[in-house]
Amino acid sequence: MADIVRSIGCIGCGNMGGAIMAGLAERTSYTLYGHNRTRERLRPLVAKGVKAMADAASLVRGSDVIIMGLKPYLVEDALRRILPQLTRDKLVISIAAGVTLGALRDAVEGICPVVRVMPNTPALVGAGMFGLCLEDPNLSDAQKTLVHELFGAIGTTLELAEKSFTAFSALVGAGPAYVFQFMNAVVQAGVTLGFPRAEALRMVIGLFEGSVRMAAASEHSLTELRDQVCSPAGVTIEAINHMDRTALQGHIIDAILAADKKGRELEG
Ligand SMILES: NC(=O)c1ccc[n+]([C@@H]2O[C@H](COP(=O)([O-])OP(=O)(O)OC[C@H]3O[C@@H](n4cnc5c(N)ncnc54)[C@H](OP(=O)(O)O)[C@@H]3O)[C@@H](O)[C@H]2O)c1
């Protein structure tokens, strides 16, 4: 590994790879390279200072760290194609769901260490949640620190055993979709109550931001925080009772378990 990592390249700058690179562009001083099948898609990243590379080989030559942002079924083949440019001082990071560390290590033929990261899209605004699998025995302590620093610059990192990755994907990788779905329902209620949609959205964003910050700062459990809002014979308990009668929490749990089941099926 280069003593000082200066350059990060990403092959496949779509929704997730693009979010990571945009976050890094705004919050770090690494030299950033991006390569994408449809070059047009790099335009917003180039505007943030990412250098567009015409091919994967030149991206790999210039990058100390290579992030694989491709769909899972493309990752191993793409790694085999860049083998001639890989050297032992580089680091490959895959964000692909379901592509195991073993498969990644086989694909790079042990030339350089590999890391699995399970990200989520709030990386775009520096608030991603990243599961890190740092189980490749070829990984040095300095490289482990680097991976924490790199993703720590655009969110929160959590080291996980690889066996927890599928569950983490269903819970956190997919998680922003669940949150947006819930936010959308609250916005829709706001519109139904007579607020213009844009105003309802502003209210809901403030509501979620405040509640999340409170949950993070408080020593109380989520149940206690909920109960503090529910005055006896008040308004809030009516809504909570309705949610409980219709088993909202159970439905949410079942939805996430269904995502986990699908993830396991896809992994075979
Ligand atoms: N989206 C999420 O929230 C999320 C969360 C956790 C993990 N992930 C993981 O992130 C990875 C990417 O998912 P995504 O949702 O970001 O998909 P995506 O938006 O389709 O991004 C994939 C990108 O790869 C590009 N690409 C395809 N073949 C290529 C090639 N040969 N060379 C260079 N670029 C190529 C595509 O180009 P085009 O623009 O031409 O299609 C596309 O921009 C997946 O492995 C997924 O498991 C995603």
For the chain, report the end-to-end CA distance as a whole number of angstroms: 34
pTM equals 0.93
> How many Cβ atoms from other residues are within 10 Å of residue 61's Cβ?
17
For the cut 70, the answer to whether the pLDDT of residue 2 exceeds it is: no
2 vs 250: CA distance, rounded Å: 49
| 74 Cα: distance to centroid of ligand 1 (angstroms) | 9
For the cut 90, the answer to whether the pLDDT of residue 268 exceeds it is: no
Closest CA to 10 of 53, 62, 68, 90: 68
166 vs 87: CA distance, rounded Å: 30
Q: Using CA atoms in the order 131, 126, 153, 64, what is the torsion angle rounded to 10 degrees?
A: 80
Sheet holding 155-159, edge to edge: 51-52, 31-35, 7-11, 65-68, 91-94, 114-118, 128-133, 155-159
Domains of the chain: 7-167 (3.40.50.720), 175-267 (1.10.3730.10)
User: Which residues form the pocket of ligand 1, taking CB atoms under 6 Å from any ligand atom?
Assistant: 11-17, 35-38, 41, 69-72, 74, 78, 95-97, 118-121, 173
Residue 14 near residue 76 (C-beta atoms within 8 A): no
Mutate to test the pocket of ligand 1, among 35, 36, 130 (most ligand atoms within 8 A of CB): 36
The model's pLDDT over 44-64, given as tens digits with 9 standing for 90+, comes to: 999 999 999 999 999 999 999
